[in-house]
Amino acid sequence: MPQYQAVKGTRDIFPEEAARWKYVEGVVDALASLYGFSEIRIPVFEYTELFRRGIGSTTDIVGKEMFTFQPDPKGRSLTLRPEMTAGVMRAALQHNLLASAPVHKLYYTGELFRKERPQAGRQRQFSQFGAELLGVSSPAAVAEVITMMMEVFRSLGLQGLKLRINSLGDTDDRLRYRCALQDYFSPFHDILDDASKERLEKNPLRILDSKNPALQELIVGAPKLYDYLNPASVQDFEKVLYYLDERNIAYEIDYRLVRGLDYYCNTAFEVTSSELGAQDAIGGGGRYDGLARELGSSVDVAASGFAVGMERLLITMEKQGLFDALTPQCPLVYVVVQQQDLADHALQITCRLRNAAIKTEIDLAARSMKAQMREANRIKASYALFVGTTEKATGLYALKNLSTSEQTMLSLEALLEFLCEPTANGQLQS
């Protein structure tokens, strides 16, 4: 057993898997650009207070999952980001983004940190991609972020995901509902677990999030938030559903969906995958117009967004065989040196190919020809290019297609032309 192991709840991503991440990130980048979202990158740690205010002190994240540290005895407490939205909003407010343009559409990919008990699909360091649409408070805006998220899933070929959606109403709706929940749960105080007892005082909506099996029957009988919505909130929600219907995005209304974070209002949604077992949430989001004020802004900033867990997305894609058909986009050439006194010449050719943007590998350890060929096959090279005395003297090089064993003699110019042609790439993948 080596002396050092990766920390529990973190993992290493090796090249084959990293290629899958890149592929997914590429699809996210392309769709974000199509929908007019630009990338934002924010710091990995922030002042702890930002998350306490922005996420809410009654949430599990703030209550028990944050990696918090103090850089020096007098320094302010810092926390590794457990989610992105608070940081994005902090950046937007700090730099007064909305003064330069009334609407900002931002997206991100990045690592997050939560001190949760690690299990399949749940880590202490994990990644999300997501989007935040700031400055517009409308059903069309929330429908736009849902559409973009679902479009990412569709483009990746994912099947069988379930989108659940609910309305949390406005602040007044939730205040009335909060009282109704307190009235409902208070007589059962003795059977509530400790966490729910605390939530009953501070944030009874969160009792509905409880996974405690002993409370499920009680939770099912609780009043529905939907019944406490005012007509404007109902109309807002119906308009969101109208857009989803129009776009053929299937959903299920789930009146119990409240989501863990305090800053949501109106629409909230979550996507689950049956492929994932206990940790089945793959992404979620909603509208959070109240967050900016919570962070000290003197004005409201309308906002909607979503976040999707990369690890769970990749697990689902793997289970659905969506990586099986991924083929390299361009041919890989392995330069095989027949005699070591030609190694420098082979390296020059390698540079020429790479300068022409052709993926090229060469042995750097003066290994035998047999070992070089083995390596070419191991790394799934498409072609072997042989460099021997005859080749050097005549200027004609043998290029062997490693899947068909077909061999052609080509000058360096003809070789470059052939390998750069789109048809060469096409042939390769067959």
CA distance 430 to 426: 7
Q: Are 266 and 170 in contact (CB under 8 A)?
A: yes
CB of 196 to ligand AMP, least distance (A): 19
Nearer Cβ to ligand AMP (122/239):
122
CB of residue 83 vs ligand AMP: minimum separation in angstroms? 5
b/e 19-42 (16+ beta carbons within 10 angstroms → b) = ebbebbeebbeebbeebebeebeb
Closer to ligand AMP by CB, 311 or 391: give it. Answer: 311
What is the gyration radius of the CA atoms in the chain, in angstroms?
A: 28
Minimum CB distance to ligand AMP, residue 59 (Å): 9
169/238 Cα distance (integer angstroms): 12
CB atoms within 10 A of CB 176: 15
CB of 307 to ligand AMP, least distance (A): 4
Please report which residue ranges of 300-368 form alpha helices under DSSP H: 310-319, 343-355
Q: Would you call 308 exposed, middle or buried from its count of C-beta atoms within 10 A (0-12, 13-18, 19+)?
A: buried
What residue ranges bind ligand AMP (CB under 6 A)?
A: 83, 114, 116, 121-123, 126, 128, 260, 281-284, 307, 309, 311-312
Report in angstroms how near the CB of residue 156 gets to ligand AMP at its nearest: 14
Min CB(205)–ligand AMP separation in Å: 15
The residue whose Cβ lies closest to ligand AMP is 309
User: Rounded CA gap, 377 and 164, in Å?
Assistant: 47
Q: Name the residue nearer to ligand AMP (CB basis): 79 or 123.
A: 123
For residues 128 and 196, which CB has a smaller minimum distance to ligand AMP in the complex?
A: 128
Comparison of 81 and 199: residue with beta carbon closer to ligand AMP: 81
Looking at beta carbons only, is 128 or 266 nearer to ligand AMP?
A: 128
CB 152 within 8 A of CB 179: no
Q: Which two tokens stand for residue 255?
A: 């009146």
**What's the one-letter identity of residue 247?**
R
